[in-house]
């Protein structure tokens, strides 16, 4: 059964939610790697992305006047995460990169020009 709130959510809320799941999964999987030190930047970027996606959802739900600023930061974090994760061959990194690319695209499309 689909959650009625989620089914009515905007494209940006859905994209941010999917991105949070992908980034949390990616970071958790990277922490399990034998050479976890080599995955530090990937983990950092995933966690940055998670925090900004959460902020976007919160700001959008309450109609914050600062939403456009947060969307721009979120898109930037998603692009950086996609770049890092896309450079790794692991399936979880590739999945994360795709989710981040989609989220960045939707956040950029949702931004309104700031006066």
Residue 6: burial class (beta carbons within 10 Å; 0-12, 13-18, 19+): exposed
What is the signed CA dihedral for 86, 89, 95, 97, rounded to 10 degrees? -10
Q: Where are the domains of the chain?
A: 10-109
Report the run of H or E that residue 54 belongs to, with start and end. helix 40-62
* pLDDT one digit per residue (tens) for the chain, 115 residues: 455 444 456 899 999 999 999 999 999 999 998 888 899 999 999 999 999 999 999 999 999 999 999 999 999 999 999 999 999 999 999 999 999 999 999 999 986 554 4
Do 82 and 100 meet the contact criterion of CB atoms below 8 Å apart?
Answer: yes
- The whole model's pTM is what? 0.87
**CATH no. of 10-109:** 1.20.1270.360
């Amino acid at each position: 059964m689909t959650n009625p709130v989620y089914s009515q959510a905007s494209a940006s809320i859905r994209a941010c939610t999917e991105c949070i799941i992908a980034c949390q999964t990616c970071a958790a999987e990277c922490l399990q790697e034998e050479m976890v030190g080599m995955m530090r930047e990937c983990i950092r970027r995933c966690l940055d992305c998670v925090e900004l996606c959460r902020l976007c959802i919160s700001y959008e739900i309450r109609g914050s006047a600062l939403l456009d600023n947060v969307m721009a930061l979120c898109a930037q974090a998603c692009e950086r995460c996609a770049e890092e994760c896309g450079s790794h061959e692991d399936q979880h990194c590739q999945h994360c990169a795709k989710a981040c690319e989609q989220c960045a695209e939707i956040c950029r499309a949702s931004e309104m020009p700031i006066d």
